Amino acid sequence: MSAIDTTAASGRTGRAVSLVCVDCGSTDQDLSGRCPACHGLVDAVYPPTTAALEPGDADALETYWDLLPVPHRASCRIAIEPTPTVLLTELDGVPIWAKVEGVLPTGSTKDRLIAVSLPLLLERGVERFVFSSTGNTAAAYAWGLQHYPELAARVYVSEDVPDAQLGPKTAQMEVVRVKGDYVEAGNRSRAELRPGEVSEGGFFNLGRREGAKLAYLEAFDDVARAGGRIDTVVQAVASGLGIVAAARAVEQSEAVRGWGRGPRLFCAQQTSCSPMVRAYRALLAGTGERLPEKLPSGLAAAILLGDPFSSFDYVARAVRESTGNFVDVTSSEIAAALQRHNREVPMGDSAAVALASAYRLWEQGDLRESEGVLVALTGGPGR
């Protein structure tokens, strides 16, 4: 695999980054994140770096610039200030660290995703992109687009999502309300693509995944500086993009290299909408059965994705290779996690799914040998 060394005008990165399809191995890729040959997932491969977060750093994109696939620094117009990594509690002596993403400008980790996705869209020459959202990604793009007047978007959102979830109204982003759930919103967003428009790609969007990775790079560096060690990661999943991003951060983090073996990755869902949990159990049991959730429901609205099976295989692979697992929690476990900790850190229902899952893992004995757990609190109140 040779490093791509062409100019940004070709839509590729001019830096020491190679783009490779994880399914067919082709390195003939643009910056979209989806392989033109096989429609597989395209990842960025970087030479080793020693990038690490230092106290006082004001922009994660600057700190980890060597680990981003954006051709030109000047295309990045949104700075992402590092968010706190806090020692939330100890369970039988096992430190539970929380990455507090609710402090970001629109209250969720999605701000990082769009801070990397927007420059890549710009550098690809996209003028108008189309996507679907459960609310938080829409709010993040609505906010971020003000820094990219060259770009416009159309987002498809279920009619069940309240207006307030979608962030500021802006002429740069058209909102289409869809009868039905997030799956239906995704279907419409693809079916109604017009000439000159580009599908943003969702899970397959390279910028989104590389942006999501930053939260984990920061957290691993923070915990290492505090003298801790993370061997277990828990995040709430819808498509599983965040967990796949965590796997990339594990490979690329200086801190994790010092720890040796990478952390186990755990995907958390609410029992009332847990298609990935069920599909993973079916994989382990050898049936391989995959059943979409026809009527997704539950407290954590941001992660209500009933049919995650376009991304599931990538997520399951990352989890299996890490020797992690999938875990689901009930509404009362979610409420208990909120009640325990929402005065200490800003946390919404999806974040609480992850935190409740950490408690569940502890109760199940899965943290018995652990030296440290990182829980991604992906959204603040209402997110």
Ligand X SMILES: Cc1ncc(COP(=O)(O)O)c(C=O)c1O
Q: Which residues of this chain interact with ligand X, rule CB under 6 A? A: 108, 134, 136, 236-242, 302-303, 350, 378-379, 383
- Binders of Zn ion among 35-64, rule CB under 5 A? 35, 37-38, 40
Name the residue nearer to ligand X (CB basis): 270 or 350: 350
**DSSP bridge partners of 178:** 158
Q: Residue 35 binds which entry of Zn ion, ligand X, none, with Cβ cut-offs from 5 to 8 Å by kind? A: Zn ion
CB 155 within 8 A of CB 101: no
Nearer to Zn ion, 24 or 87 (CB): 24
Least distance from Zn ion to the Cβ atom of residue 29, Å: 8
Task: Provide the minimum distance between the beta carbon of 117 and ligand X in the complex, in angstroms, as a whole number.
Answer: 13
Contact 158, 296 (CB under 8 A): no
Decide which of ligand X, Zn ion, none touches 325; Cβ closer than 5 to 8 Å per partner kind: none
The total of other beta-carbon atoms located within 10 Å of residue 190's CB is 13
Provide the terminal-to-terminal Cα distance of the chain, rounded to the nearest Å: 41
Closest to Zn ion by CB, 38 vs 284, is 38
In whole angstroms, give the CA distance from residue 151 to residue 202: 17
Q: Is the dihedral of CA 58, 60, 61, 63 positive or negative?
A: positive
| Nearer residue to ligand X within complex by CB, 8 or 303 | 303
Return the one option of Zn ion, ligand X, none that residue 284 interacts with (CB less than 5 to 8 A, by type): none
327 interface partner picked from ligand X, Zn ion, none, CB below 5 to 8 A per type: none
Beta bridge partners of 95: 90
Nearer to ligand X, 242 or 296 (CB): 242
Tell me how long the chain is.
383
CA distances from 142 to 165, 215, 243 (A): 11, 21, 24
Neighbours of 352 (CB within 10 A): 29
Q: For residues 318 and 299, give the distance between their C-alpha atoms in angstroms, rounded to a whole number.
A: 27
CB of 21 to Zn ion, least distance (A): 3
* CB of 4 or CB of 303, closer to ligand X: 303
Sign of the alpha-carbon dihedral angle for 352, 84, 251, 36:
positive
Span of 24-32, 67-75, 187-195, 220-228 interacting with Zn ion by CB under 5 A = 24-32
Type of residue at 156: Y
Please provide residue 181's backbone torsions phi and psi, each rounded to the nearest 5 degrees.
-100, -170
Cβ at position 73, least distance to ligand X in Å = 26
Q: Which does 38 bind (CB under 5 to 8 A by kind): Zn ion, ligand X, none?
A: Zn ion
Which residue bears the tokens 């609480």?
352
Q: Residues 3 to 22: which contact Zn ion by CB under 5 A?
A: 21
CB-nearer residue toward Zn ion: 24 or 79: 24
Residue 135: name the closest of 153, 155, 149, 113 by CA: 155
Nearer to Zn ion, 22 or 79 (CB): 22
Part of the chain binding Zn ion (CB under 5 A), chosen from 6-14, 29-37, 188-196, 201-209: 29-37
Using the Cα atoms of residue 183, residue 186, residue 190 and residue 191 in order, give the sign of their dihedral: positive
Residue 17 binds which entry of Zn ion, ligand X, none, CB below 5-8 Å type-dependent: none
SS3 102: helix
Q: What is the distance between the alpha carbons of residues 90 and 206, in angstroms, rounded to a whole number?
A: 35
DSSP state of 175: E
- Find the shortest distance in angstroms from Cβ 378 to ligand X: 3
Q: Which does 23 bind (CB under 5 to 8 A by kind): Zn ion, ligand X, none?
A: Zn ion
CB of 205 to Zn ion, least distance (A): 16
Which residue, 96 or 139, has its beta carbon nearer to ligand X?
Answer: 139
The string of DSSP codes covering 215-233 is HHHHHHHHHHHTT----EE
Query: If binding is defined by CB under 5 A, does position 33 make contact with Zn ion?
Result: no
Select the binding partner of residue 241 from ligand X, Zn ion, none (C-beta < 5 to 8 A, by kind): ligand X
Beta carbons within 8 Å of 317's beta carbon, 6+ residues apart: none
Nearest approach, Cβ of residue 11 and ligand X (Å): 25
Q: Select the binding partner of residue 350 from Zn ion, ligand X, none (C-beta < 5 to 8 A, by kind).
A: ligand X
Give the footprint of Zn ion on this chain (CB under 5 A).
Answer: 21, 23-24, 26, 35, 37-38, 40
